[in-house]
Chain A
Amino acid sequence: MAIKIVTDSLSDITSDLAKELGITVVPLYVRFGEEVYRDRVEMTTEEFYHRLVHGNVLPTTTQPPPGDFVNVYKKLAKETDEILVIVVSSKLSGTYQSALQAASMIEEKCRIEVIDSQTVAMGLGLIVISAAKAAKAGANLDELADLVRKAMPRSHLIVYFDTLKYLAKGGRIGKAKEFLGSILSFKPILTVKDGEMSPLTRVRSTAAGMNYLYNFMAGFSKIEALAVEHAATPDEADGLVERLGSLYPKEHIYRSIVSPVLGTHTGPNAIALTVLEAEKA
């Protein structure tokens, strides 16, 4: 029986890709006041960013309850006896907690391994994709878990932000709080380090930010996979992909949109680049 791969909606894996690779995506929740929506399922990203910017209630986000994972595990246990769950960094969300707890509540005979990816967005997504491909090729659970743990340090996510306002309000700013309180305006570029948001550098314009992202990618000699995603700023993302096309086959770059739950914290106009570095021979 093939192993089933489960992740959460913060992996930013599109529903088409999830279907193609047989990945089950458990949605987090985004909440405007007392209205609750399932991430990527019950609210379109367009509608979301419109409300984020123009609405009078700022959204908040919450992890899936253990019950959501229980339902997924139970359903998958009918088809397999091994499940690998790879979720968003436990320092950014309680999703890991829910996934882990749900695993202890299953009576079905099914081995479930839950891994805290220590990253988010396509930083997580590319690891999940790589695991799903290996699962299709017939790897067993231990091999897959090992593959994921080895891929984690090779997954490099950097995010260009238009503003840190949303990240600060949501309380997930981590070490990047050093970038708050500046008199001069600038666009921050952050990365994920030790599972939390961490400052990288500052640029003064979007163009300079895209240069930084381009140069960041150019600094890697061997690349296994590459992803570009955006929060309601498709033109910038297209432009970056065009440029990256000179270094890496454009059609192999994974494209996605930052999910509403993640968008609650990035705010609009963020661009994220993930490089999954190839394993050193």
Chain B
Amino acid sequence: MKQVNAISGQDLREMFVAATGWLEKSSAEIDALNVFPVPDGDCGTNMLLTMRSTMEEAYRAPDRSVSAVSQAMAKGALMGARGNSGVILSQILRGLAQSFAEKESFTAVDLVNGLQQSVTMAYKGLSNPVEGTMLTVIKDVAAAVQAQVSSDGGDLISVMESAVNAAGESVANTPMLLQVLREAGVVDAGGQGLYVILDGALRYLRGEMEQMRFRKPQIIVSEIHATKLPQMIAADEVPYGYCTEFLLKGEKVKTDKIRSKLEKKGESLIVVGDESAVRIHIHTLDPGEVISYAASLGTLHQMSIRNMDEQHQDYLEMQKDRAPAVDMAIITVASGDGLADVFNSLGTSAIVPGGQTMNPSTKDLLQAVESVPSDKVIILPNNKNIVATANQVQSLTEKTIEVVPAETIPQGVAALLAFDYEANLSTNVQIMKKAMSGVKSIEITRATRSTKIGELKIKKKQPIGLLDGDLIATGKNNADVLDQMLAKLDLDKVEVITIYYGADTKSAEAEEISSRIREQHPQLQIEVVRGDQPHYNYIVSIE
């Protein structure tokens, strides 16, 4: 076996050049792990840029002593440190440089001392060191290296092997130490980066430069499954699909080819491994396609397919139980899945089904009030006939109830949107009432019987239009009624029109109506939303 007892400055530099190249190969995957301290997904890139700056400076060292090279590296790292991980990395290199001062080359014992100094510097660099990060990894590495040298002596290859092994184990353990990693089901990104750098250095010492060209660093997989999908928080429009994971064993498997083949099949693709075993992870809407492609390349193992929509729902349920009492809750009355979704997405705590011809009982409302984890509850009845029922609830509960007397869905939505997160209950009630009064509501439905109201003659089943509850128009079809009603309004001061189409209404008709309004009033912002409400073909909000 090859043995190395001392490393010169030049070797130190080449070792880290190799390590930087090694890091480059996995920086994108390290980015993907990044959830702490800010889930901005750039940890790997930051570490890579820091290492590049480090190595550029290393070539400017005045001589080839390990002292000069390590000092130059520390300087380069300091000047080029990017992000938190880069900063910590620069502190680690600074520790080494301090320890290598005045030395022509370094031995295993020097390395032990250097890494101890790195740990000190890394911890010292942070006002609030957090365990389960790169800090823990470098600490574990330093301890392992010390143990190796005292038991087995001065071969630097064995020493670096112990360092890499310790780093790997430490990285795998990071989710046990840091909750945010546990929730995301990932290992610490910075720790992973450090592991890759040490691994790259070791491979250089072993003389494996040739093999490194064709391989990729191992990404350590967390044993814990995600309960939270941080990458999904931002992707509000991306459907969740299935988290599909498995191990592919075969011969001469080409990871790059698999990656390019799967890239378009979903999100969060990770393909890691070598030509005999590849771990594949992807969030896809069609796991079947991914699996049949992989099965054509070899055998599949450790298969796991999880429905992320369900996971997400479970997570939301879990959060609900765990959620501390929020100060204020809002309960709305609505019917139709679409309207329920609208209210839910705007932060309603509970929805009581009900509306025209289906008024909820006081008991229904009371149950909803008792189910929310807040002592102060605002009720939005969203129908004239439900306001009185809502007013009854206060006498039946110890919680503080306020009814914001919205009589239509548009009024309820306007009130909910205007909710002020910093204001108290009474101020909010005022704000919401004011917002409610600034909106006009149009409802289009069918006459239940023939009648005559004022000048209007109405036949049974004919489309009729109500403006804030008053019947003011009738016509041959929905579009006709809406046109008549809009003509009666002063649209100059209007900014936004929202059209909620009902369960019995085709979306194509709604789109047609909206594009006509858009043509006639190009200054308006028109939004069409699936409301699914019964009875009303259209509910239109004008604000």
A98–B527 CB distance below 8 A: no
Q: Is the CB of A94 closer than 8 A to any CB of chain B?
A: yes
B38 at the binding interface (Cβ < 8 Å): yes
* B79 beta carbon closer than 8 Å to chain A: yes
Q: Does A38 contact B (CB under 8 A)?
A: no
Contact A94 B40 (CB under 8 A): no
Ordered by A's residue number, 14 sampled pairs between the chains whose C-beta atoms are within 8 Å are A31-B42, A60-B40, A62-B86, A63-B87, A65-B81, A101-B126, A171-B38, A171-B39, A181-B345, A191-B422, A200-B420, A201-B420, A203-B418, A208-B495
> Is residue A185 contacting chain B, with contact meaning CB distance below 8 A?
yes
With A63-B84, A172-B40 known, 15 other A-B pairs at CB within 8 A are: A60-B45, A62-B82, A65-B81, A67-B79, A96-B127, A171-B38, A171-B41, A180-B233, A182-B346, A183-B341, A185-B527, A198-B421, A201-B419, A201-B421, A205-B495
Check B234 for interface membership: any CB of A closer than 8 A. yes
Cβ 8 A contact of B233, one of A36, A60, A177: A177
Answer whether residue A169 sits at the interface, using C-beta atoms and an 8 A cutoff.
yes
Query: Which parts of A17-72 form the interface with B (CB within 8 Å)?
Result: 29, 31, 34, 36, 60, 62-63, 65-68, 70
Decide: A94 near B234, CB < 8 A? Known: A62-B82, A183-B341: no
B157 to chain A, nearest CB (A): 33
B83 adjacent to A36 (CB under 8 Å): no
- Tell me if A137 counts as interface (CB < 8 A to partner B): no
The answer, among B40, B90, B236, for a CB contact under 8 Å with A66, is B90
B527→A200 contact, CB < 8 A: no
Q: A65-B79, A65-B81 are in contact. Are A205 and B87 (CB under 8 A)?
A: no
- When the two chains form the complex, which single residue of B82, B420, B525 contacts A205, counting CB atoms closer than 8 Å? B525
Q: Is the CB of B495 within 8 A of A186?
A: no
A97 lies within 8 A of chain B by Cβ: yes
Interface string of A149-182 (1 = CB under 8 A from B): 0000000000000000100111111000110111
Are A94 and B87 in contact, with the CB atoms below 8 A?
yes
Q: Which residues of B pack against A, CB within 8 Å?
A: 37-42, 45-46, 49, 78-84, 86-87, 90-91, 124-127, 233-234, 236, 338, 341-342, 345-347, 413, 417-422, 495-496, 498, 525, 527, 529, 543
Ordered nearest first, which 7 A-B pairs have the shortest CB separation? A65-B81, A171-B40, A168-B234, A205-B495, A67-B79, A171-B39, A181-B236
Task: Say yes or no: is A104 at the interface (Cβ < 8 Å to chain B).
Answer: yes
Q: How far is the CA of A78 from the CA of B166 in the complex (A)?
A: 46
A184 CB–B CB distance under 8 Å: yes
Closest to A180 in B: B236
Are B498 and A65 in contact, CB atoms less than 8 angstroms apart?
A: no
For B37, what are the chain A residues with a Cβ–Cβ distance below 8 Å? 94
Kindly provide the distance from the CB of A114 to the nearest chain B CB, expressed in whole angstroms: 9
User: From residue B150, how far is it (CB to closest CB) to chain A in Å?
Assistant: 32
Given A97-B87, A183-B342, A203:B40 Cβ within 8 A = no
A243 within 8 A of B: no
**Among A34, A101, A181, A204, contact of B417 (Cβ-Cβ < 8 Å):** A204
Any chain B CB within 8 A of the CB of A218? Answer: no
A173 to B236, CA, bound (A): 13
Query: Please, how many angstroms separate the alpha-carbon atoms of A100 and B233 in the complex?
Result: 31
Q: Are A170 and B40 in contact (CB under 8 A)?
A: yes
Known: A29-B82, A65-B78, A65-B82. A184 touches B413 (CB 8 A): yes
A268 within 8 Å of B by Cβ? no
Q: Which residue of A lies closest to B416 (CB)?
A: A202
Q: A200–B421 contact, CB under 8 A?
A: yes
Inter-subunit contact A66/B421 (CB<8 Å):
no
Q: A180-B236, A181-B236, A201-B418 are in contact. Are A66 and B87 (CB under 8 A)?
A: yes
A279–B419 alpha-carbon span in the complex (Å): 29
Encode contact with B along A182-218: 1 for CB under 8 Å, 0 otherwise.
Answer: 1111100001010000111111110110000000000
Determine if A169 and B78 form an interchain contact, defined as CB atoms under 8 angstroms apart. no
Name the distance in Å between B319's Cβ and chain A's nearest Cβ. 12
Which of B40, B49, B79, B525 is close to A34, meaning CB atoms less than 8 Å apart? B49
Q: Give the distance in Å from the alpha carbon of A96 to the alpha carbon of B87 in the complex.
A: 12
Q: Measured between alpha carbons, how far is A96 from B125 in the docked complex, in Å? A: 12
Q: Which residues of the partner chain B approach A191 to less than 8 Å between Cβ atoms?
A: 422
A204 touches B543 (CB 8 A): yes
Chain B residues, Cβ within 8 Å of A104 = 124
Which residues of B lie under 8 Å from residue A203 when comparing CB positions?
Answer: 417-418
Closest to A61 in B: B40
Closest B residue by C-beta to A201: B420
The answer for the CA separation of A183 and B345 in the assembled complex, in Å, is 6
The answer for the CA separation of A66 and B80 in the assembled complex, in Å, is 9
A29 and B80 CA atoms in complex are apart in Å by 11
Max chain B CB contacts within 10 Å: which of A36, A101, A168, A177?
A: A101
A202 near B417 with CB under 8 A, answer yes
Report A65-113 residues with CB < 8 Å from chain B CB. Answer: 65-68, 70, 94, 96-98, 100-101, 104
Contact A60 B495 (CB under 8 A): no
Question: Separation in Å of the B74 CB from the closest CB of chain A?
Answer: 10
User: Which residues on the A side are within 8 Å of B38 (C-beta)?
Assistant: 171-172
Question: Which residue from chain B places its CB closest to the CB of A184 in the assembled complex?
Answer: B342
Nearest chain B CB to A273's CB is how many angstroms away?
Answer: 15
Highest count of chain A CB atoms <10 Å: which of B83, B341, B342, B543: B83
- Most-contacted residue by chain B among A36, A60, A171 (CB, 10 A): A171
Asked whether, in the complex, the Cβ of B495 is within 8 Å of the Cβ of A204, the reply is yes
Does A178 lie within 8 Å of B347, measured CB to CB?
yes
State whether A66 and B342 are in contact (beta carbons under 8 Å apart), knowing that A169-B234, A204-B417 are contacts in the complex. Answer: no
Contacts of B81 in A (CB 8 A): 65-67, 98
Residues of B within 8 A of A200 (CB): 420-422
CB distance from B391 to the nearest CB of A (A): 26
Contact A101-B41, Cβ < 8 Å, known A65-B81, A202-B417: no
CA distance A173 to B235 in the complex (A): 13
Residues in chain A near residue B46, CB distance under 8 A = 62
Residue pair B80, A65 in contact (C-beta under 8 Å): yes
Q: Cβ of B84: which chain A residues have Cβ within 8 Å of it?
A: 63, 94, 97
Cα A183 to Cα B233 in complex, Å, equals: 15
Contact partners of B347 in chain A: CB under 8 A: 178
- Return the chain A residue nearest B420 by Cβ: A201
Chain B min CB distance to A6 (Å): 18
In whole angstroms, how far apart are the Cα atoms of A178 and B421 in the complex?
Answer: 11
Cα distance, A182 to B417, chains bound together (Å): 11
With contact pairs A101-B87, A208-B495 given, residues A184 and B422 touching in the complex (Cβ less than 8 Å): no
A195: min CB distance to chain B, Å: 12
Are B78 and A66 within 8 A (Cβ)? Answer: yes
A68–B84 CA distance with the chains assembled, in angstroms: 15
Docked Cα-Cα span, A191 to B81, in Å, equals 30
